[in-house]
Amino acid sequence: MIIFPNRKNFYKIIFVISLISIISALYIEYILQYQPCELCIYQRLPYLAAIFVSFIGFNYSNNHQILIVTIMIFALSAILSGYHFGIENSIFDELSACTNGSSDILNKSKLLESLNKSMPVNCKDATFNILGISLAAINTILSILIIIFSIRTLVYEKN
C-alpha cells in the first residue's frame, strides 16, 4: 500500500516541485545560456502561481477550494506544455509570437533595426533536452501527475 501525504505535506511537495521547476528554468536560461521561446516563458507562470497557492493551502489545508485551484493551475500548465510539445512535434501550428519571421518588413531602416534586435527562439525548436526528452514534454508529464495526485488528495484526504 502506498502512503500518500496529508494535505499540509501535499502543499509542501507542490511548493518544492514548483520552486525546483522555476529555479531549473532560470538556471538553464541564465547559467547554461539557452534562450527560451515565448511558450517556455508562459509555462513558468503556473508554477509561480502554484508557489503562492501552496502557501495558502498549507495554512488553510481544510479548504477544498484551494485544492481545486491547484488542480486548475496544473491543468493550465498541462495545456500550455502539451500545446508546446505538439508544436515541437508538428502536431499544431505555431503561434505568431513563436516564429522569428520578419518577412513583412518592407522599409530598409525597419529591416536593419530588426536585424540588430535579438531574434526570438522558435517554439518548434527544442533547444534543451534531458535524456532526449524536451522540457515541454517533461512539464506535460509532471503537470498531469500533479493533477492526478491532486484529485486523489481531494477525493480521499479528509485533512
Instruction: Report d(CA 9, CA 159) in Å as an integer.
Output: 11
Q: Does CATH number 1.20.120.80 belong to domain 7-90+110-156?
A: no
Of 97, 63, 64, 79, whose CA–CA distance to 144 is shortest?
A: 79
Mean pLDDT value across residues 129-138: 88
**Residue 25 confidence class, pLDDT cut points 50, 70, 90:** very high
Query: Is pLDDT of 90 > 90?
Result: no
What letter would DSSP give residue 134?
A: E
pLDDT tens, residue by residue, 57-73: 999 888 899 999 999 99
The CA distances from residue 109 to 48, 97, 113, 116, 119, in Å, are 39, 22, 6, 11, 17
Domain ranges of the chain: 7-90+110-156
Q: What percent of the chain has pLDDT over 90?
A: 48
What letter would DSSP give residue 61?
A: T
